[in-house]
Every structure is written in C-alpha cells, then in structure tokens.
Amino acid sequence: MINKQSNVYTIVYITVLVIVVGAALAFTSMSLKDRQNENAQADKKSQILQSVHISTTRATVIADFEKYITKQLVVNTKGEEISGVEAFGIDVAAEAKKPADQRQLPVYVCQLPDAGTKYILPLAGMGLWGPIWGYVSFDDDGSTIYGAFFDHQGETPGLGAEITKPAFTDQFPGRQLFKNGNFYPIEVVKKGQKPLNPDVDFVDGISGGTITSKGVGSMFDNCLQPYRAWLETLAAAHVSGADGNAQPLTADDKTTFSRQLTAEDVVTAEPGEKVSAAATIAE
C-alpha cells in the first residue's frame, strides 16, 4: 500500500502534476497560437486605421484595412524605397533602438474617399512603466498631420494612460513638421508652456503624466527624424504636382526667386558676338 504521508509520494505527486499541467498548457498555447497571431495582426490593423479616423470592428477590420490601405512600402533614411521587405512585419520597437541609418522605415499609404491620400508612419518608444507606441498620419504635403493614435503597455490609468484619449490625440491634426525650411518633430510640453523655438509646433502634455508625455515627445523625435528625406520627397512631389517620383529637395531647389525675367533682361547680340548666359535673378 502506498504511503501518502511519505516524502517520496509527495515528490512523485508534485512532479507528475507539474508535467501534466505543463503539457496541457503547452498544448493549449500551441493550439491557440495561430488565433493569437490573427488577433494581434487585427489589432495592429485597427490601430493603423484609427490614425486616419477610421473606426472598425473585429469582424470588418481586415476588409477595411485592405480597402483603405492601398500600398505598403519600406524606406531608408535617404528616402529610398527598400525592395523585398514587408512593411507590416517590421518590428518598429526594435528598429527604433538601432542607429538611424540602419533602420527599415515602414510607410502605409491610405486612400480616403473624402480626404485623399494619407501617409501613415509608425512610432515606438518608452513611457513611465513600459513601451508606448503609435501611428501618425500625414497629408500628401509631407508636413501636416492628419491624425494620430497612441497606445501603451502599462501606463497608469488616469495619468500616463491618457495618451490614448481624444483629449490628447485630437491636438495633433493640423500640426506641421516643416517650418521655414526646417524640420521640427512635434514637441509635447507642459500645459501653459511653449517650446523655446517659436517655429516648433507643439501639444500640451498629460497633467500628472509628465514622464509619459516626455516619452511621446522623444518618440516623435527619434522615430520621425529618419523619415525626413522621404518626407521632403513627398513635399517636393506635392509642390510639383508629380506622381511621387520627385527627388528630395536640395539647397538649389530651396532658393527663393524675387522676380520673374522681363523684356529688359533679354540681351540681343550681333552675329558672331559672344554673350554670357549668367545672370543674377534675385537682385
């Protein structure tokens, strides 16, 4: 007869119980892995769509994503498209920790029936208690924010977690990255204060959520700076009315001319006479 009071019985019983329970949990996890991945992808697609003000449901999110997201691409810090890389599969949090020139930068192109083409860029950073992330959408001028979505892993309810609420996210539409030819990612400042540089667009931070608010500001700076060349390409295409193939603006492209040529600028030459083509336009 087995002595249930012995140490051997206790050890054997616990060992068998751990093995049985562990095997059951492992089997359950493996069985649900595909569904978990599907749910994670659906949630990510929903967040991307929310950055362009599209609310969706679990039942329709995949169809809505395929309807509105017409193109996905990956670029580098030079604004060049990287071929053979899937934008949706990139771990943005991991990329954000790399040097800027080594990053793969996803871009989601969204076509809205009433608002035209929008470009959605992902963000990733750190809050007070853990990771924070988001998606920010831009108009086709490459500068003006159309919408923003933020989420977090474990920020404090009523404090840092308020970055998910409309009171915070609704401040971003209309803010611009390019001012007077310079690139300034949006700053998040304490309510009632302003950035030292008057050209920088800003939003008010969360009351009582200072560290999380600073995390959002750092996330904008760290994640949007590498997109500068690509956003300049977008801006150039917008100005020229091109189809998106324009090259990034150079110093020569940014020269402002003060007047147009007039009849007085035309030089008439006799046959065989040499005439210099150089002229000062902005005199």
Question: Residue 216: how many CB atoms within 10 A of its CB?
Answer: 27
End-to-end CA distance of the chain: give it in Å, rounded. 109
Percentage of the chain surpassing pLDDT 70? Answer: 82
Check residue 14 and give its pLDDT. 85
Question: With 80 as the cut, is the pLDDT of residue 240 above it?
Answer: no
Check residue 170 and give its pLDDT. 97
Contacts of 85 (CB under 8 A, 6+ apart): 74, 104
Which of 199, 193, 196 lies closest to 177, judged by CA? Answer: 199
Q: pTM of the entire structure? A: 0.76
- What is the tens place of the pLDDT at every residue in 6-64? 777 778 778 888 888 888 888 777 776 667 788 889 999 999 999 999 999 989 999 99
Determine contact, residues 236/247, Cβ cutoff 8 Å: yes
Average pLDDT on 188-207 reads 93
- What is the tens place of the pLDDT at every residue in 92-127? 999 999 999 999 999 999 999 999 999 999 999 999
Contacts of 53 (CB under 8 A, 6+ apart): 146, 147
- d(CA 108, CA 18) in angstroms, rounded, equals 46
Which of 96, 97, 72, 98 lies closest to 85, judged by CA? Answer: 72
Percentage of the chain surpassing pLDDT 90? Answer: 67
- d(CA 140, CA 146) in angstroms, rounded, equals 10
| Max avg pLDDT among 151-160, 234-243, 244-253 | 151-160
Average pLDDT on 156-173 reads 96
Q: Which amino acid is at 59?
A: A
